[in-house]
Structure 1
Amino acid sequence: MEPVTLTLDQPVFILGDHPVTLGMCLFVTIAVLLIAGIPTVLRRQRARQAALEAEERMTALIAAQTEMQGRIAAMAEVFGARQSELNQSISQRIDGMTHRLGASISEQTKATHENLRRLQERLAVIDTAQTNIQSLAKDMAGLQSILSNKQTRGAFGQSRMETIIADGLPMGSYAFQATLSNGSRPDCTVRMPNGQPALVIDAKFPLEGWNAIRNAADPEASRQAAQQFRRDMEVHIRDISGKYLIPGETQDTAFLFVPSESIFAEIHENFEAIVQKAHRARIIIVSPSLLMLSIQVIQAILRDARMREQAHLIQGEVIRLMEDLTRLDDRVRKLHGHFLTTQKDVDDILTSSEKLKRRGASIEALELETAGSPPDAKPEPKSFDNRMGQLKLRVVDED
């Protein structure tokens, strides 16, 4: 049987109007096989590549793990050292803080004890002050009871005025409750120098009217109390002017003593008309400080008057002192002359003694023949004796 030869371009079957050759079938078959095998190859390549990548990643992971373990070990060592240093530093700081806290607590305790001690001292001072305030309150209550009574109020003003005058003036220059020629008795009369009339001081201030002003409950009551006080002051000023201003016996001005500085200031501030009326009546309203100043002025006037009274005595004493000084000057001058004469005599005596020494030295050296004739040497002892006698006479005269 003869073999059949197949060629690639030999049609195998007809698909539609197109013949399908063997080559085409082989090509399609190969193409199908290739298309079917490509995913497997790709998958294998991908698997191998994934395995390689996984192996590389595992190797890198193992290396990273090894490096991480080394770093963790190094960090553990560093953290251990740092923790030890931190523990030591914390212990030192805790010890320092404990010491400082102990010292601070000790100082604070001392300061607290000192403050408590000072507080106790201040409390003691406060207790003393409170006791003084209570005593002062009792005294003020007593003073209020005194001032509420007209007679005791007058005695209070009188005693204060008397204290100021007695402290400022010498005895005999004032008198309390002295009777004048018209029968009135002022609280005080001050004797002026050079025969001048006496100065009259009145201490009967109408304090009840002033207390009524201060104790008024409403403005209307205060206004009425002020009017009443004004009337009382006017009546009192007229009484002083009519009773105590006596021509030739008293000064033409009298003092109305107010026993309180605050009342004096409020009178000048709120009752100017009363002050002006008192001035026109030649009545001077004075407070304790003004009275003290006036007394000091009067004291200076009295002192000046006493000095003028004693001026002739002082002048006589000065004249006698000058006479004694003149006699002393004469005697000093005479004594100075005696001293000069005595000094001259002493110088002459020294000169003579020097000559005697030289002559004695010449005699001792056997030089008498060359020194001069003997008659010239004899008068020297005589002159020496004469001068010594004169000196003794002068000393006796001086004694």
Structure 2
Amino acid sequence: METSISLDQTLFQLGASTVSVGAALLAAAAITALVVVFAVIAVWRSARMRLVAEIQAEDRARDAEARMGEILKSQSEMQGRMQTMAELFGSRQAELNQSIRERLDGMTSRIGQTMTEQTQSTHENLAKLQERLAVIDTAQNNIQALAGQVVQLQAILANKQTRGAFGQARMEAIVADGLPQGAYEFQATLSNGSRPDCVVRMPNGAPNLVIDAKFPLEAWNAIRASESPEAKKMALAQFRRDVEIHIRDVAEKYLINGETQDTAFLFVPSESIFAEIHENFEGVVQKAHRSRIVIVSPSLLMLSIQVIQAVLKDVRMREQAHLIQGEVIRLMEDVGRLDDRVRRLQTHFGQANKDIDDILVSSSKVTKRGQKIEALEFAEAPVGDVVKDADSARTAASATGQLRLRVVDGED
């Protein structure tokens, strides 16, 4: 039994639309036609693309051959240029090598000269350094010796007796350097039996000046050695008492009316201690002034000694004034006698000058007369007086010759 299918038969329904078999077949045919058309178009495009690709390949091949020719040409030119550059580089390399060798030689010579100079300078510096080291060694030895002396000085100042001897020696050195011998005396005995450290003899019978060098320094050392405020306060009070007691002792022992000056010197062997006393112990200084005691340091003592030396020189000049006056009077008498003798000698010189002028006049006259005598001429004898004998003729010519006088100058 055959089954007949109608084209109008409904195949399926899509939403509100009904798709029949005919419509489906028509759609399938249309789709197949489109696929065939697309396949033909694709084949045509593929053939066209292959043709274009072959054309482009041929163009690329021609371009490649042209470029290869250009590259070969450029390569040949490059080879020529490379050869030229190689030759140029070779010549430049030779010049560069020569220049480098010359510069190396110059640098070598300069470096050698510089090394020589540096070596010489180094030797000289080493020699100077050795000299300076020798000087430093000497200075170090001197410093060590000085340190030893400082230790010895410290030991001296630590002992009361040796410290007093040190102050006494320093005072004696200042006085001995500034005053002439006989103008001072050390450890002289006064009328009351006391013996000051130094007595300076003043001129014109004036009383002597007394200098004491036994300044108390034990309390001062205690001030320096004190560690607590209480110990320092006690040391200050003790130093003040010691100095006041010593000032009173000096005033009582060495200030004698008519024998010594109204003022005495209390010598302090240290400038720093002197400055400290005047700065921090004003009461002690005022008490010394009231007691007519002058506290002096080494510099002030030296200045006072120089003043005393000037006074002594002035006194000696005044004492020698009458001798100088007598010598001046005798000198003026000698000058008067010298003036008289010079005047007489001037008179003698005037007379001698007059005599010399007369002698010159006489010598001038004698000279002129001599010139006149030199101007005399002798004439020959007459012909008629010739004798037969030749000797007789010469004798007759000399005896009877005529004297001609030619006057040169008319003066007598």
TM-score class, shorter-chain normalisation, is: 0.7 to 0.9
**Cα pair distance change 1:252/1:356, threshold 3 Å:** same
Q: Which whole-Å CA distance do the structure 2 matches of 1:195 and 1:32 have between them?
A: 160
Q: Which whole-Å CA distance do the structure 2 matches of 1:354 and 1:72 have between them?
A: 120
1:181 aligns with: 191
1:284 aligns to 2:280 (yes or no): no
Superposition deviation, residue 315 in structure 1: 0.8
1:193 aligns with: 203
Superposition deviation, residue 360 in structure 1: 9.6
Matches within 5 A, 1:15-26: none
Secondary structure of residue in 1 paired with 2:264: strand
1:243 aligns to 2:256 (yes or no): no
Matched length: 339
Q: Which whole-Å CA distance do the structure 2 matches of 1:229 and 1:53 have between them?
A: 124
Write out per-residue CA displacement over residues 41-82 of structure 1, whole angstroms, 9 at most, x where no aligned residue: 544433432322222122222222223323332333333333
Identical columns (%): 68
Superposition deviation, residue 175 in structure 1: 0.8
2:102 aligns with: 92
Superposition deviation, residue 132 in structure 1: 1.8
Which runs of 5 or more structure 1 residues have no equivalent in the other structure?
1-15, 17-30, 367-399
1:293 aligns with: 303
Q: Which whole-Å CA distance do the structure 2 matches of 1:321 and 1:159 have between them?
A: 48
Residue 329 (structure 1) aligned to one of 312, 315, 339: 339
Secondary structure of residue in 1 paired with 2:269: coil
Matches within 5 A, 1:139-178: 139-178=149-188
Which runs of 5 or more structure 2 residues have no equivalent in the other structure?
1-25, 27-40, 377-402, 404-412
Residue 72 (structure 1) aligned to one of 67, 71, 82: 82
Q: Which whole-Å CA distance do the structure 2 matches of 1:99 and 1:354 have between them?
A: 91
Q: Which whole-Å CA distance do the structure 1 matches of 2:362 and 2:93 have between them?
A: 119
2:382 aligns with: none
TM-score relative to the length of structure 1: 0.74
Matches within 5 A, 1:47-126: 47-126=57-136
Secondary structure of residue in 1 paired with 2:322: helix
Secondary structure of residue in 2 paired with 1:250: coil
TM-score relative to the length of structure 2: 0.72
RMSD over equivalenced CA pairs, Å: 3.3
1:136 aligns with: 146
Q: Which whole-Å CA distance do the structure 1 matches of 2:259 and 2:164 have between them?
A: 25
**Cα pair distance change 1:80/1:352, threshold 3 Å:** closer
Write out per-residue CA displacement over residues 265-317 of structure 1, whole angstroms, 9 at most, x where no aligned residue: 33333333333332332222222222222111111110110110111111111
Q: Which whole-Å CA distance do the structure 1 matches of 2:45 and 2:114 have between them?
A: 94
1:222 aligns with: 232
Q: Which whole-Å CA distance do the structure 2 matches of 1:69 and 1:356 have between them?
A: 128
Secondary structure of residue in 1 paired with 2:263: strand
Secondary structure of residue in 1 paired with 2:195: coil
Q: Which whole-Å CA distance do the structure 1 matches of 2:236 and 2:269 have between them?
A: 19
**Cα pair distance change 1:141/1:45, threshold 3 Å:** closer
Secondary structure of residue in 2 paired with 1:147: helix
Residue 45 (structure 1) aligned to one of 55, 64, 70: 55
Secondary structure of residue in 1 paired with 2:81: helix
Q: Which whole-Å CA distance do the structure 2 matches of 1:358 and 1:91 have between them?
A: 101
1:383 aligns with: none
What one-letter code is carried by the residue in structure 2 that aligns with 1:120? Answer: Q
Secondary structure of residue in 2 paired with 1:175: strand
After TM superposition, the structure 1 stretch with the greater mean CA deviation from structure 2, 131-140 or 313-322, is 131-140
